[in-house]
Amino acid sequence: MGSRGARRNGVNDLYRLPSKSLFVIGMFALLFIVGVVHASSLLSTVVEYDSNALLAASSTLNGAMQPQLPVLDKQAYDKKIWELANNGILFASSTEIMASTTVKKPLWPTRAAHPNGGALLPFNRVVAYYGNFYSTRMGILGEFDEATVLQRLRETVRVWEKADPVTPVVPAIEYIAITAQLSPVDGTYRARMPHEQIDKAIAMAEKVDGIVILDLQIGLSTLEKELPLLEKYWNMPNVHPALDPEFSMKTGKRPGTVIGSFDAKDINYAASYLANLVRENNLPPKFLIIHRFTQPMVTNAKQIKPLPEVQVVMVMDGWGSPVRKIGTYQAFIYPEPVQFTGFKIFYKNDLRPPSTRLITPAELLKLSPKPIFVQYQ
């Protein structure tokens, strides 16, 4: 985005005008200023969040049309994250509790920067279908044809809308854009998907008025190398990233032989990189998904820094019975608050014996905090 340089509008010519012309110009200028002030006062009252209007209005900047994002209603945001925390304390008491120096503060909600206007979270819950089009074993996206996937996604969205009527649901296609490999592949044990496959995921999401999440399993590569290669997609307002520490192999071992990890430095790098793109392109905030099911998968979690341009969602990624999954959530997600939480459901692995059923939305909504992101594989 170009710099906002000052414009010189023929200042020298103004002094050559007769005094009568100056008077007329002055009157027009006064009327113009009054009009601008009046318009500004009207605009300042429009603070209601509207996810459908992110790109509806535009303003001119250096000759280019730029999206005009809505203003964040901070009070509505604070109330929503307090309700998501599900800590047993009414929002009406939140200000007094958080300001107190003697009362023990709840672990959730955690303190994080308010997002810029246009943020999807926490005003919406994102429900994602996950996988890769080349594989029937990596998730539902590759297991069924497109029509079946989208129909099931619509049905799942309706289930969540019924379970939590006060939180709108945004459907998502979470496509594995970089997959971990058992073979070396340039020595990095990762394979980058062709852009036409990513474009297919974007087209699918459009058919359900949804968004796209690109999942990265980087193997022995690095985020510094991989993120910029997908920059044209990060520049889209409806595309968000997901990082999979399980397949980030800092020890140099082959993916699948041990569980990998990301450090807070890696996650903060990704957030900073994305934040720059958000600012340069005047985009609504991105959210950054982090998958986790063990303690060592994310190191120094307390140092992760959500930004006004990038929200962070820590997702419980383990499989098993409902009791086992809730235990993992309470052991590895709850104790290290970052900003938001998510929960992953496996259509097949969660039914492996001794498990007999999938966890339900009603059970997830009883958790503290309530997941604002839910993924189905």
| 358 part of a folded domain | yes
Tokens of 64: 């280019």
| 98 part of a folded domain | no
| 35 part of a folded domain | no
Per cent of the chain over pLDDT 70 is 82
Backbone angles phi, psi at 124, to 5 degrees: -130, 155
Q: Answer for the pair 116, 107: CB distance below 8 angstroms, yes or no.
A: no
Give residue-wise pLDDT tens across range 101-159: 777 888 999 989 999 999 999 999 999 999 999 999 999 999 999 999 999 999 999 99
Lowest mean pLDDT among 14-28, 250-264, 296-310: 14-28
| 110 part of a folded domain | no
Q: Answer for the pair 308, 79: CB distance below 8 angstroms, yes or no.
A: no
| 31 part of a folded domain | no
Q: In which domain, by residue range, is 251 found? A: 117-376
Confidence check: pLDDT of 24 > 60: no
| 307 part of a folded domain | yes
Separation between Cα atoms, residue 265 and residue 303, nearest integer Å: 8
The amino acid sitting at 110 is: T
Cα distances (Å, whole numbers) of residue 60 to 4, 53, 66, 281, 289: 12, 17, 6, 13, 33
Lowest mean pLDDT among 102-111, 235-244, 254-263, 311-320: 102-111
Q: Answer for the pair 327, 306: CB distance below 8 angstroms, yes or no.
A: no
Give residue-wise pLDDT tens across range 249-302: 999 999 999 999 999 999 999 999 999 999 999 999 999 999 999 999 999 999
Sign of the C-alpha dihedral, residues 96, 99, 105, 106?
positive
Q: Answer for the pair 230, 170: CB distance below 8 angstroms, yes or no.
A: no
Separation between Cα atoms, residue 97 and residue 302, nearest integer Å: 22
Task: Report pLDDT for 65.
Answer: 57
* H helix or E strand, kind and range, residue 269: helix 264-281
Q: What is the CA radius of gyration of the chain?
A: 24
In terms of residues, how long is the chain? 377
The enclosing domain of 350 has a CATH number of 3.20.20
Q: Answer for the pair 367, 315: CB distance below 8 angstroms, yes or no.
A: no
| 60 part of a folded domain | no
Query: Looking at the 3D structure of the chain, how many domains does it have?
Result: 1
Beta bridge mates, 342: 315, 373
| 86 part of a folded domain | no
Lowest mean pLDDT among 97-106, 224-233, 262-271, 363-372: 97-106
Strand residue runs (E) in the chain = 58-61, 64-67, 125-131, 169-180, 190-192, 211-216, 239-243, 262-263, 286-292, 298-299, 310-316, 340-345, 373-376
Tokens of 54: 């992110």
Burial class for 34, CB neighbours closer than 10 Å (0-12, 13-18, 19+): exposed
